[in-house]
Amino acid sequence: MAAEEKPTQEWQADRYAHHAHFVPTLGQPVLELLKPRPGERILDLGCGDGVLTEKIAAAGVAVIGVDASPDMIAAAQRRGLAARVMNGAQLEFAGEFDAVFSNAALHWMKGDPDAVIAGVVRALKPGGRFVAEMGGHGCVAAIVVAMVATLERRGIGDAASAIPWYFPTVGDYRARLTRAGLVVDYIELIPRPTALPTDMAGWIEVFGQPLLKRLPATDRAAAIAEVVARLRPVLCDEQERWTGDYIRLRFAAHRPH
Ligand code: BEZ
């Protein structure tokens, strides 16, 4: 399959709010690392439906949210936020932000992480901060293995190439930030087993589309059931509570004066 034909992730704000409301809730420590100050101008990169963008705005900040998903941006605009559709690898800002913030979005910008970081650096004022959290090396490894095994059993030989996420190590991402001209003040990989509010089938339906779309539509429900069965002994307890094997990469960097 040619690169431009790769199945892509499609976001539906209502389904996301139902199965994945933990994502912004667990973003609180990143907000604390950002320390937004009244009067600042901040970009929320990959703002989704704007739950955290709204919290940044509540600190007295002029915040702009960008996201590649029109449905998510529509949801953010319904909250009254300044939000617009934009590709994270083609940011259209120059020297205007005191900080760029991002939660749980950078791992989706897999194609060209250096272009994403270069756009952030361009968007920052001298001295401006880049504070973010994304999936880190080993994130959702059990889920990835179960999904790839399920696709391969159905004859999809290159299933691993359809994994839509970029989960870097500390060394990889620190090197990219530094090469782009940023000073890294803090960077850490944080294992964070994450209670899922619904179940693994819901998680796969929301986050696993690029992998599922490699299968005929008529086989997807059976494939989800197979992934769930593979993961049950690892990620589900006896009370039917599911835990995602999340690992975060959290960092703070700044553009020198
Ligand atoms: C994450 O936020 O780390 C994540 C989200 C979706 C899929 C995988 C990881």
For 142-175, write each residue's pLDDT tens digit: 999 999 999 999 999 999 999 999 999 999 999 9
DSSP symbol at 120: H
Residue located nearest, by CA, to atom 4 of ligand 1: 135
Give 257 Cα–ligand 1 centroid separation in angstroms: 33
Residue to substitute in 22, 139, 204 for testing ligand 1 pocket (most ligand atoms within 8 angstroms of CB): 139
Contact between 83 and 65 under an 8 Å Cβ cutoff? The reply is yes
H/E stretch holding 157: none
Residue 39 backbone zone (phi > 0: left; psi -120 to 50: alpha; other: beta):
left
Strand order in the sheet with 124-135: 82-85, 62-67, 41-45, 97-103, 124-135, 243-254, 183-195
Contact between 139 and 256 under an 8 Å Cβ cutoff? The reply is no
Residue located nearest, by CA, to atom 2 of ligand 1: 104
For 2-47, write each residue's pLDDT tens digit: 333 466 788 788 877 777 777 777 889 999 999 999 999 999 999 9
* Per-residue confidence (pLDDT) for residue 113, from 0 to 100: 98
Q: Please tell me the distance from the alpha carbon of residue 106 to that of residue 90, in angstroms, as a whole number.
A: 13
Give 39 Cα–ligand 1 centroid separation in angstroms: 32
For 204-228, write each residue's pLDDT tens digit: 998 999 999 999 999 999 999 999 9
- The answer, yes or no, to whether any atom of ligand 1 lies below 6 A from the CB of 165, is yes
Q: Which of 103, 98, 105, 117 is nearest to 53 (CA)?
A: 103
Q: Please tell me the distance from the alpha carbon of residue 204 to that of residue 201, in angstroms, as a whole number.
A: 5
Q: Which of 182, 199, 178, 153 is nearest to 254 (CA)?
A: 182
Integer CA distances (angstroms), 56 to 63, 68, 117, in order: 7, 20, 21
Contact between 111 and 89 under an 8 Å Cβ cutoff? The reply is yes
* Per-residue confidence (pLDDT) for residue 1, from 0 to 100: 32
The CATH number corresponding to 3-254 among 3.40.462.20, 3.40.50.150, 3.90.79.10, 3.20.20.70 equals 3.40.50.150
For 39-84, write each residue's pLDDT tens digit: 999 999 999 999 999 999 999 999 999 999 999 999 999 999 999 9
- The answer, yes or no, to whether any atom of ligand 1 lies below 6 A from the CB of 136, is no
* Per-residue confidence (pLDDT) for residue 19, from 0 to 100: 75
- The answer, yes or no, to whether any atom of ligand 1 lies below 6 A from the CB of 104, is yes
Contact between 248 and 192 under an 8 Å Cβ cutoff? The reply is yes
Q: Give the amino acid at 90.
A: Q
Whole-prediction pTM: 0.94
Domain assignments of the chain as residue spans, ordered by start: 3-254
Residue to substitute in 15, 165, 245 for testing ligand 1 pocket (most ligand atoms within 8 angstroms of CB): 165
Residue to substitute in 51, 140, 205 for testing ligand 1 pocket (most ligand atoms within 8 angstroms of CB): 140
- The answer, yes or no, to whether any atom of ligand 1 lies below 6 A from the CB of 22, is no
What ligand 1 atom has the least distance to the C-alpha of 248? 3
- The answer, yes or no, to whether any atom of ligand 1 lies below 6 A from the CB of 246, is yes
* Per-residue confidence (pLDDT) for residue 26, from 0 to 100: 82
Report how far Cα 67 is from the mean position of its chain's Cα atoms. 11
